Amino acid sequence: MGPFACAGHGGAIAIAIPAFALAAKHNRSLLGQPINLPASRVIDKRLILGSIAFGIGWGVAGICPGPALVLLGTGNIEAMIFVGTMLSGMIIFEVLQRKTPSGK
C-alpha cells in the first residue's frame, strides 16, 4: 500500500458521514428502494473479533476487499488468490454460524 492509501479512506469517510446522516432521515433512497441502516450501536465481542480478522487479512494481503474485486477484472493472480480465500472465509463463517444454536 502506498502513502495515499489512508488519504483515500479519509476521503471515503468524509463523504460517507454526511451521506449516512442524510440517509438516516429518510426511509427510502432516491430510487425508491428501502434504506435499512444498522440499528444496533453495541460494540460486542463478535464485532471486535470480526474487525480484528478483517485487519489481519488486510495487513497480510496488503489489499482491501473492494480494490481486490477491481483487480480481479485485470487478471491479477494475487487478487484471484485473495478473493478466493476471502470467499472461502465467508463460506466457513456461514457454515459455523448455522451450527451455532443462538446464531451468534
Domain range annotation of the chain: 1-39, 41-104
Give the per-residue pLDDT at 102: 67
What is the grid cell recorded at 32?
425508491
Give the per-residue pLDDT at 4: 44
25 vs 9, which has greater pLDDT?
25
Give the per-residue pLDDT at 12: 80
Neighbours of 82 (CB within 10 A): 24
Cβ atoms of residues 34 and 28 within 8 Å: yes
Q: List, for residues 27-83, the tens digit of each pLDDT value.
A: 898 899 998 888 888 999 988 988 898 888 888 888 888 888 888 999 989 889 989
- Report the C-alpha gap between 57 and 76 in whole angstroms: 18
Q: Is the pLDDT of residue 103 over 60?
A: no
Q: What is the pTM of this model?
A: 0.58
Q: Is the pLDDT of residue 3 over 80?
A: no
